[in-house]
Amino acid sequence: MIMTTMATTNASFSPFPFDELLEWHAGNRRDHLPWRDFTGRKQCDLAYRTWVSEIFLQQTQAERVIPYYKQVIAAYPSVEKLATASYEEFFGLYQWLGYYSRARNMLRTAEAVTRQYGGLFPDNTVALRALPGVGAYTAEAIRAFAYDLPTLAMDTNLVRIFSRYYFGAKTPSLPRTIEKTLLEQMQSENRSWRAINAALMDLGAATTGRLMIDFDRYPLPGCRFAMTAGSLEPVPERKKKIFPRKDAVRIIVLHENHVRYFSSRQDRYEPFFLEPSECEIRPAMQEYFFQNYGLSISVRPVRWHGYRDGTPHMLANAQPQTGSADLRPYPRSDHAAWESSFFTSCDRE
In this prediction, residue 227 carries a pLDDT of: 40
DSSP 14: P
Model confidence at 231, pLDDT cuts 50, 70, 90, reads very low
Q: How far apart are CA 255 and CA 298, in angstroms?
A: 10
In this prediction, residue 171 carries a pLDDT of: 66
User: 327: which residues sit within 8 A by CB, 6+ positions away?
Assistant: 254, 262, 263, 264, 293
DSSP 247: G
**Which residue type does 340 have?**
S
In this prediction, residue 226 carries a pLDDT of: 43
Stretch 242-254: mean pLDDT, rounded? 91
Name the residue ranges covered by the structural domains of the chain: 18-207, 245-344
For the chain, the distance separating the N- and C-terminal CA atoms, rounded to the nearest angstrom, is 41
Calculate what percentage of the chain has a pLDDT beyond 70: 84
pTM of the full structure = 0.67
Find the DSSP H helices in the chain.
18-26, 43-56, 62-75, 79-83, 87-94, 100-117, 125-129, 136-147, 156-167, 176-188, 193-207, 281-293, 332-344
Q: Which of 54, 140, 270, 280 is catalytic?
A: 54
Helix axes 156-167, 176-188, angle to 10 degrees: 100
Determine whether domain 18-207 maps to CATH 1.10.340.30. yes
Q: How far apart are CA 160 and CA 173, in angstroms?
A: 9
Stretch 42-53: mean pLDDT, rounded? 94
pLDDT at 28 over 70: yes
Q: How far apart are CA 87 and CA 89, in angstroms?
A: 5
Q: How far apart are CA 121 and CA 118, in angstroms?
A: 8
Cα 30 → chain centroid: 18
DSSP 251: E
Tell me if residue 270 is catalytic: no
- The residues with which 227 forms a beta bridge, in sequence order, are 13
297 neighbors 254 (Cβ within 8 angstroms): yes
- Residue 185: count other Cβ atoms within 10 Å of its Cβ: 15
User: 178: which residues sit within 8 A by CB, 6+ positions away?
Assistant: 13, 162, 166
- Residue 41: count other Cβ atoms within 10 Å of its Cβ: 13
pLDDT in tens, 263-290: 999 999 999 999 998 888 888 888 899 9
Q: How far apart are CA 328 and CA 260, in angstroms?
A: 9
Q: For the CA atoms of 104, 110, 112, 116, what is the dihedral angle to 10 degrees?
A: 180
Q: How far apart are CA 224 and CA 3, in angstroms?
A: 22
Three-state DSSP class for 314?
strand
Q: Which residue, 318, 296, 322, 311, is CA-closest to 345?
A: 311
In this prediction, residue 261 carries a pLDDT of: 95
CATH of 245-344, one of 1.10.760.10, 3.30.1330.60, 3.90.79.10, 3.60.9.10: 3.90.79.10
* Selected residue with higher pLDDT from 133 and 183: 133
